[in-house]
Structure 1
Amino acid sequence: MNDRTVVYSTYYNPIEANIIKARLEDSGFSCFLADENVSTIQPLYNQAIGGVKLIVFERDVEAIDTLLAEDNSLALETSDDTVPGEEAEEGPVPCEKCGSKNVGYGMATDKKYSVWATILAFLTVTTPVKANKCYHCYDCGHEF
């Protein structure tokens, strides 16, 4: 038996990481999260440490892939919240630059504030209030 552990996936949202971890533990897989505490206590360090890492045994990777793929297909089949005339998304949005599916949606890091929010904050001597959101590729760092 192979008892090596591998980083199965990386999450920049600790809640999402805990949901996947709980799903795997409920199915009988041994796993744990690395860097969860740093990510939760200091969210600004999240990108520097590479996010919350889900660690699993190497021997379980194929079974976990199958389990999570089944969960994903069931979720897509049962979702009825699509608006007529719009197509449902088929899984995560791939990165425009590298094609990776390891993409999340959240606060922008590159162009965080719009020009108007920056000007308003400068005139009122405050910090900008409204931040931009975008997709972020965790593999190549591209924002779109």
Structure 2
Amino acid sequence: MWNSYPQRGNMQLLENFLSPIDAHIILGRMLSEGIYAVVIDEDIIWNNYMCSQALGGVKLLVHQADIERAKSILRQIEDNKFMLDNPEPNLENAKSSTFQCCSNSLMNTFLVILLFLTIGIALPLKTNFHSSP
């Protein structure tokens, strides 16, 4: 079945995924590295998501010439080599922002309860947890 199209003649299975979303994330990485890859059986899984494991999941096929390189990229992804760098948090700002976050949350909870007791309607209030210093 995999070789029914001429362009899939030299393709080899790299990985099975239970979710088509996961398969497309890895597909995007492979294509950005210059490796020709194809996702197959995703339509079957989208239509019958609960049977994903029974059907073998979504398959990511890679050209035979690039299979070793694709496996090394997949290992690097599993080892979190492609994660974005997060700057080290400043502890002084973290303590003050945590206190401010908790006090804002407490004040909003109090206002929601007060509005519910006076009007009879609970209105959720928007909070801004990520305020800039």
Per the normalisation by structure 2, the TM-score is 0.50
| In structure 1, C-alpha distance between the alignment counterparts of 2:86 and 2:22, rounded to whole Å | 19
| In structure 1, C-alpha distance between the alignment counterparts of 2:80 and 2:24, rounded to whole Å | 20
Report which of the two has the higher share of helix.
2
Pick the aligned partner of 1:15 from 21, 24, 28.
Answer: 21
Residues 62-141 of structure 1 correspond to what in structure 2 (within 5 A)?
62-71=68-77, 72-75=79-82
Unaligned runs of 5+ in 2: 1-8, 88-133
| In structure 2, C-alpha distance between the alignment counterparts of 1:41 and 1:56, rounded to whole Å | 24
**Helix, strand or coil for the counterpart of 2:71?**
helix
Pick the aligned partner of 2:59 from 53, 70, 83.
Answer: 53
Given that residues 14 and 71 in structure 2 are in contact (C-alpha distance below 8 angstroms), is that contact kept between their aligned partners in structure 1?
no
Report which of the two has the higher share of strand.
1
CA-based RMSD: 2.3
- What residue in structure 2 maps to residue 136 of structure 1? none
User: Alpha carbons of 1:13 and 1:62: their partners in 2 closer, same or farther (altered >3 Å)?
Assistant: same
Q: Deviations over 1:27-80 (max 9, x none)?
A: 111111111011012112312321000011111111112223334342579589
Matched, 1:35 2:37: no
| In structure 2, C-alpha distance between the alignment counterparts of 1:43 and 1:30, rounded to whole Å | 26
Per the normalisation by structure 1, the TM-score is 0.47
Give the 4+ runs in structure 1 shifted more than 6 A.
none
- What residue in structure 2 maps to residue 6 of structure 1? 12
| In structure 2, C-alpha distance between the alignment counterparts of 1:56 and 1:17, rounded to whole Å | 12
Structure 2 counterpart of 1:66, one-letter code: S
User: Alpha carbons of 1:55 and 1:77: their partners in 2 closer, same or farther (altered >3 Å)?
Assistant: same
Given that residues 7 and 54 in structure 1 are in contact (C-alpha distance below 8 angstroms), is that contact kept between their aligned partners in structure 2?
yes
Structure index of larger Rg: 2
- For these two proteins, the number of residue pairs brought into alignment is 78
Given that residues 5 and 57 in structure 1 are in contact (C-alpha distance below 8 angstroms), is that contact kept between their aligned partners in structure 2?
yes
**Helix, strand or coil for the counterpart of 2:21?**
helix
Given that residues 45 and 57 in structure 2 are in contact (C-alpha distance below 8 angstroms), is that contact kept between their aligned partners in structure 1?
yes
Identity in percent = 26
